[in-house]
Amino acid sequence: MNAPDKLPASTEPHVMKTYGRLALALSHGRGCWVWDTEGKKYLDGLGGIAVNTLGHAHPKLVPALQDQIGKLIHSSNYYHVPLQEQLAAKLCELSGLTNVFFCSTGLEANEAALKIARKFGHDKGNTRPEIVVCEKAFHGRSIATLSATGNPKVQAGFGPLVEGFVRVPLNDVAALENVAKTHPNVTAVFMEVIQGEGGINLATIDYLRAARRICDEQGWLLMLDEVQCGMGRTGKWFAHQWAGILPDVMPLAKGLGSGVPIGAVVCGPKAANVFGPGNHGTTFGGNPLAMRAGVETLRIMVEDHVMENAATVGAALKAALIRELAGVKGVVDIRGQGLMLGIELDRNCGELLGRAAEAGLLLSITADRVVRLVPPLILTADEAAQIVAILCPLIKDFLATTPATTSATTAAP
C-alpha cells in the first residue's frame, strides 16, 4: 500500500515549510471521523494531537459556540470577563487548586509556569533560580520552553539556550534526591505526567509521590505539565490524580477547548500569589470565545460521561493492541493510559504516518519509533476495534518488510 506523497512546494508557496505535511487537506468532520477535500473518509486517531476532546461538530458544542460568536468573540483583559471566573472556578473545583491564569496555548502555559518558578525563587532571595526538568521531555518551542525540553534534535540550531535548568532521568528518585543535595538554587521540579512527544513515557505513581515529598522537604514548587495528558484523557481529570497528589502549578491546554485555542495555568496556595499586576499578561488569552469553549467542554464531558468513556474504551483499545501484536518481532512495548497510547517499535517508523492515512486512519509518530494514538475522548468501542483492525496489519507488514537500518522518519507536526 502506497503512502500519500508529500505536498509539492508549489501547493503552499507562501506558507513557511515548518511541517512535513501529507498530501491531504481535511474538509469537515463528524464525531471521530473526518473527510478530506477529495471526499475520502478517515477515522481520527489523532484528535488534532489530543485537542479535539469532543470530536468534530459535536451537537452540543457547536450551537454554544455559535451563540457566543454572535455575542462577543474578544474583548480585552482591561475588563472583567465573567466567563473567565466561571471556567476558573470549575478548574479549581476539579483540581483542588486555588486560581488560574488563562492564555492561548500549551507553550504559553508552560512559559508562564517557568516565570512563576523563577519569580518564586527571586521572592525568596534566590537571584539565580534553577528548575529541575526531565530527559525526553517536551514543553514547547519558545526559547525558554525549548531549553526546558529534553530533545537535542529540536534544540539544534537555536542556541544559546536559556540557562537555569537541571536535567534528570524520568522516574529516577535517587537523581532527584541528589539534585536536592547538590543544587542549592533549585526552586521547582517541572515535568510531564505522561511524556507525549517523548514517546508516551509515564511517570510512575511512586515517582510522582516522591517528587511531591522532595518538593515539600526542599520548599520547591512541583509543576506538572498536563497540557497533553490532562482533561480526562487518562480517565481522571488530570493524570497526576492517579497518584493522589496535588501539584503547586499545573499547565493545561489542548483538550480544554475542544479545538478552540486555550491554555491555562492552575496554581495551588504556594504559587497562587506569585504573579501580581504587570508580572504577566496576554492579548488573546481568556477571551470570551475560548472561555465559552472551555466551560461548554467541561459541561458536556460531565453530562455525557466522556471521561469514563476514555477510561473504558482506552483500556479495551490497549488490551486489543497488546493481544493483536503479541509476539510480533519488532514491537518493543505498548504503553499509555486511557486514550493516550503509544506503540514502540524497534526502528524508525515515520512512514507509517502515510501508510495509515492511505488506509483511512489518522495518527502520529513521536520520538521517531512510537506510534501515538490520542483520539477524541468520545471514541466508541466499535471505533476502537476499527483502529486495531486497520493499524495492526499495517504495523506487522511494516516490520516484516522494512529493515530497521533504512526506515524513514517523519517528524510529528
Candidate list 44, 190, 225, 270, residue with the active-site label: 225
Q: 506523497: which residue's cell?
A: 5
Contact (Cβ atoms closer than 8 angstroms) between residue 237 and residue 81 = no
Residue 240: partners with Cβ closer than 8 Å, 6 or more residues away: 193, 208, 224, 226, 246, 247, 250
CA dist 245 and 206 (Å) reads 11
Count the alpha carbons within 13 Å of 250 in the hemisphere toward its beta carbon. 30
Candidate list 254, 275, 284, 318, residue with the active-site label: 254
CA dist 208 and 37 (Å) reads 45
Is 120 marked active-site? no
Count the alpha carbons within 13 Å of 304 in the hemisphere toward its beta carbon. 21
Residue 351: partners with Cβ closer than 8 Å, 6 or more residues away: 3, 398, 402, 407, 408, 410
Is 304 marked active-site? no
| Three cell numbers written together for 345 | 517499535
CA dist 391 and 218 (Å) reads 46
Is 190 marked active-site? no
Contact (Cβ atoms closer than 8 angstroms) between residue 199 and residue 366 = yes
Residues facing residue 188 across a β-bridge: 131, 221
Least Cα distance to 138 among 199, 213, 203, 72 occurs for: 199
| Three cell numbers written together for 324 | 493483536
| Three cell numbers written together for 103 | 492564555
CA dist 330 and 214 (Å) reads 38
Candidate list 102, 120, 138, 284, residue with the active-site label: 138
Positions marked catalytic: 138, 225, 254
